[in-house]
Amino acid sequence: MKNSEMSFTLSNGNKIPKIGRNHILPFIIVGTYRLISEDVERVVSEAINIGYRHIDTATVYRNEEAIGNTLKSLFDKGVLRREEIFITSKLAPKDQGYEKATKAVDESLKKLGLDYIDLYLIHWPGTSSIKPNSPKNKKNRQDSWKALEEAYRQGKLKAIGVSNYTINHLKEMEEYATIKPMVLQCEAHPLYIPIDEVKYCKDNSIIFEAYTSLGEGKFLQNDFLEEHQFIQEIADRHGKTVAQVLLAWALQQDWTVLPKSKNPSRLKENFDCLFALKESEMEQINELSRTEMQKICWDPIDVQ
Residue-wise pLDDT tens digits, 10-67: 677 766 665 332 322 237 899 999 999 899 999 999 999 999 999 999 999 999 999 9
How confident is the model at residue 16, as a pLDDT?
65
Q: Which helix (H) or strand (E) holds 183?
A: strand 183-187
CA distances from 216 to 188, 296, 297 (A): 11, 8, 9
Bind-site residues for substrate:
123
Q: In the chain, where are the structural domains located?
A: 3-291
- pLDDT per residue over 115-170, tens digit each? 999 999 999 999 999 999 999 999 999 999 999 999 999 999 999 999 999 999 99
Q: Please give the CATH architecture assigned to the domain spanning 3-291.
A: Alpha-Beta Barrel (3.20)
Q: What's the pLDDT tens digit per position in 176-234? A: 999 999 999 999 999 999 999 999 999 999 999 999 999 999 999 999 999 999 999 99
Residue 298 CB contacts under 8 Å (≥ 6 apart), including other chains: 164
Q: What CA–CA distance (Å, rounded) separates 12 from 8?
A: 11
Query: What are the residue ranges of helices labelled H in the chain?
Result: 37-50, 64-76, 98-112, 136-153, 167-173, 195-203, 222-227, 229-238, 242-251, 264-271, 279-291
The closest alpha carbon to 212, from 247, 171, 238, 176, belongs to 247
What's the number of CA atoms in the CB half-sphere (13 Å) around residue 253?
28
Give the whole-angstrom CA distance, residue 304 versus residue 189.
25
Q: Which distant-in-sequence residues (6+ apart) come within 8 Å of 46 by Cβ?
A: 264, 267
pLDDT of 23 reads 26
| Per-residue pLDDT tens over the stretch 284-301 | 999 999 999 899 998 999
At 15 the pLDDT is 66
Q: 37-50 and 64-76 helices cross at what angle (nearest 10)?
A: 40
Q: In this structure, are residues 146 and 177 in contact, taking their beta carbons and an 8 Å threshold?
A: no
Positions marked active-site: 61
Per-residue pLDDT at 12: 72
